[in-house]
A and B are shown apart, each in its own frame.
Chain A
Amino acid sequence: MPQPLPPLEQHPFLRGLSPEQVGSIACASREVSFPAGALLLREGQQADTLYLLRSGRVVLELNVPGRGPTLVETLKAGDILGLSWLFPPYRWHLDARAVEQVEAFALEASCMRGPSPEHPVLEPALAMRLLRQLYDRLERVRLQRLDVYKAGA
């Protein structure tokens, strides 16, 4: 019998916030499921959702013209997915595909962003958490970019 998945406020991205803060960040949220192979994000489509992954794995794919899709990073339970809703033009910059059955919370971006990047309504706590995620991801990308396993690298 599988363990029930933790509720929204227990997701690592939100854990520790007050009920008011969670209510404000997730003013419109829903539980979503994706079967293996399904696309959660498609490059070019409108970015209006922050996914909080609860179970399963998602792989980020970049389509390289002439080379086809390249898998660049795997995200899993506890991670967040989708940040392109933060800034115009609010479109996904890559594809995200479920590697296996994925359960997630889908948070509507309109709760978190203001009418424009110059007029944000981001909770400071949310802003810091997003910054932390971006910083960690930047570190990982830096290491990936070094291509340390290449002969002579």
Chain B
Amino acid sequence: MSLTAPHAAGTAGPMTPEPLRVRSLRRETSDTWTLSLDVSQRSGGFPFKPGQFNMLYVFGVGEVAISISGDPGRPGELIHTVRTVGATTQALRAVGRGGTLGVRGPYGRPWPMEEARGQDVVVVAGGLGLAPLRPAILHLMRHRAEYGRVSVLAGARTPEDLPFRRELARWQEDARLRVLVTVDKASPGWTEHVGVVPALLRDVEVDPARTVALTCGPEVMMRFAVRELERLGVPDSRIYLSMERNMKCAVAFCGHCQLVPFFVCKDGPVFSYEQLRPFINLREA
């Protein structure tokens, strides 16, 4: 299986941020926000592929790589989900409704939705890793007849930390998907699973020869998920991970996101485990 989708540069050029107005801001968790940017002035909206990211620039503060979390079938909406963990992401949140951000993108190799056609798909998301996987899930739902069984396994620290919680509940009601949700710890009253998200792989039917696994989350969580998938017999070439590195230029010039032979911004962020296996356990200097 290969990833062959080309990069699609934004209309403003790969290094020039395009100013876009924040149309709305919705709180997901105590520190996570989903913001919608106004692309109504753009002809054709803002097309992207599931798994791609944009560079969002807070003028005078800094620029940060954020996955697109919207529906690829609705390019009239440009949605990102941001966790406010540093100065730039806090400033991003503070821009608020009506404010303007600079946007470059979309960048990066997407999830292998074409290669997965006709196959079963298992999505394993940890924490905000669900954000870059959400476009893939929405794509699978939109083109449901073209895929086999679809399972979504989502985990978070606590129930309050689950992003897209209402949407997850809706998906759980949708017979087209099997959706299991887990948290690392919970208080009484929580009736979903408790435990780590890779353990949920034991609860879904996985035919290793026809399953494509898409996983995103903290890197150590993905390693555990890969180990569980390997135990189930899923080949490395069918396991895909979205990697997070410190992306600066997003066009493979600066080298900040280099992972041995790969520039995560250009060669990734989505890689097959077959590609990553020799490098994923390397210690950072």
Binding site for B on A (CB under 8 A): 57, 59-61, 68-74, 76, 78, 99, 139-140, 143-144, 146-153
Contacts and interface: CB of A to CB of B under 8 A. Distances in A.
Dominant SS among interface residues on chain B? mixed
B187 interface: yes
Contact of B184 (A59, A76, A149): A149
B31 interface: yes
B83 interface: yes
Contact of B186 (A71, A76, A143, A146): A71
Given A143-B220, A147-B184, A148-B220, A74 B193 contact: yes
B185 interface: yes
Nearest to B85: A151
Interface stretch (B15-23, B63-71, B94-102, B195-203): B195-203
A139 B224 contact: yes
B156 interface: yes
Interface in B180-208: 182, 184-188, 190-191, 193-196, 198-199, 202-203
29 contacts: A57-B193, A59-B194, A70-B185, A71-B190, A72-B185, A72-B194, A72-B195, A73-B195, A74-B182, A74-B193, A76-B203, A99-B191, A139-B224, A140-B196, A140-B198, A140-B199, A143-B224, A144-B184, A144-B196, A146-B220, A147-B184, A148-B217, A148-B218, A148-B220, A149-B157, A149-B184, A149-B218, A151-B83, A152-B85
Contacts of B155: 149
A134 B281 CA distance: 25
A78 B202 CA distance: 10
